[in-house]
Amino acid sequence: MRFEVSKVLDAIEARLTTDPALARAVVDLSEIVRYADLDGGRPASMLRLGLVIDALGRHVSEENVPVYAVVPRGLLSDADLTSNERMVVRRWADDGVVEVVPQLDDRVLEVAELLGLPVLTRTRAEQFRDRRPWVEEPGRLLAAVPGAGGPVLVARIGRGEVPAVAEPSPMGAKLLARVWSCPEANCNAYGSGGDPDSPFADMRKTTAPVAQPPPSLRSGAPTCPRHGTRLRDAGPRPAVEVLSVRIDGVVRQRFVVSTDKPVVVGRAPEGGGVMLGQWLTDDARKWISRGHVRLALNGGELTAQDVSTNGTGIRPGGSVDDDDRITLNRDETRILAANDVVELYAGVNVGRAKLWATGGVTQPSSVMAEAPTMAIRKFER
C-alpha cells in the first residue's frame, strides 16, 4: 500500500505549482489534509489534496489543472501525517513546488488576490473581510464537499460559477512585472541559485525568474513570504503568454512561452517541449513530427515557426473554413493574432489559453488512479 500511496503523491506533485501563469486555484494544505469527511479516514491525510485537485478538474472540465499550495511550516512536523507524508511535504518544500510560510496569516487570500484566482477553502474568511473585501464576492471562495462521484466544489457565496479566466490585480500585475531577489542564500523562490561554482550547485532547485511566485506585501513592501525579508528588485521579468494544447475538443495541457524561452510542440520534441504523443491517434502520430512547431514571444508578439516535415496550419481567428487555412512550410514563421489557432493535424490545435473557456472534458483523469481502495471507498457505490 505504501508504494501505491507514493504513486498517488507523485501524481499530486505533478499538479502543484507556484507559477503565477499556470496556477488555477490556491489552497492552504494544512486545511485540506484535515477534511476527514471526504474519505472517513485518519485525522490528517495528504491524499485529500488529490481529492480536492480532482474536484477542481471536474469543476473547470479540464485535464491537468495545477494548484498553488501554501504550507504553514507546522505541517512539516504534524504528527497526524504519516512519516512518509511529512517527508514528501518537506521534499515539495525543498523543490519549491509548494510555498512554505512560517505563519499562514492571510497569505492564501493574498496570493488569490494578486493572481486573480479562486481559493479552495471551507472558511468564509470573515476575519480578513476588511483587508480583502472581495472574499464576499460570489464564486471567489469554493469549498470542497463530499459528492456522489467524489468531492465537488461549491461556492461559499453565490452559485459557484466556473471562475473567469484569472487576471492578476493591478498590484499583482505590478509585482509580476519584476524579478525579485531574496537576501537569504537558500531561497528557492526568489534566489539566484547561489554560487554557480559550488559542488552542490546542480542540486539546488531555484524557481526560474519568469515563474517566481508573487511576493508578499508587508507595509507595502515586497517581502519574501518564507523568510520575511525585504525583496530586492532585480529587474524586469520576461513577458509570458499562456497557451493551451487542445486535441479533439479537449484541453490537454497549458504551457508558458516567455521572451527568454521559446517552446517546441510535437510528438516528442528533443530536448524538452510539449510532448503530444500520448494523446494522438495513429494517423496523427504519423503526420506530426517529433518537433513540429516552435512558439516564441518577441517584442510582445507571439510567433509560430514550422519545424516539421509536413507543415503547420494556421487558422486565422480560429476559422473552421479550410479556404482560410494558411500553411507554413519548413522554417516559415507567422505572427499569431489574438484568436489565431495553430493546427498541427486535424483536431490537434495550439492557441492562447483564453481562447477556450472550457477544457471540454466532463471526467478528467484522476490523480487518485493509483490510490488504495480504502482512500476512495466512499465514492464507489
Which residues of the chain form contacts with Zn ion (CB under 5 A)? 182, 184, 187, 224, 226-227
Count of C-beta atoms within a 10 Å radius of residue 306: 24
> Min. distance of Cβ 237 from Zn ion in angstroms?
17
**8 A C-beta contact, residue 241 and residue 234:** no
> Min. distance of Cβ 100 from Zn ion in angstroms?
10
Q: Which of 173, 124, 143, 138 is nearest to 32 (CA)?
A: 143
| Look-up of cell digits 534566489 | 191
Count of C-beta atoms within a 10 Å radius of residue 41: 16
Please list, residue by residue across 199-233, b when 16 or more beta carbons sit within 10 angstroms of its beta carbon and e when fewer do.
Answer: eeeeebebbebbbbbbbbeeeeebbbbbbeeebee
Rounded Cα gap, residues 191 and 186, in angstroms:
7
Sheet holding 152-155, edge to edge: 99-101, 68-72, 26-28, 119-120, 141-145, 152-155
Q: Which is nearer to Zn ion, 55 or 182 (CB)?
A: 182
Rounded Cα gap, residues 23 and 300, in angstroms:
22
> Min. distance of Cβ 222 from Zn ion in angstroms?
11
| Look-up of cell digits 505563519 | 103
Rounded Cα gap, residues 218 and 159, in angstroms:
33
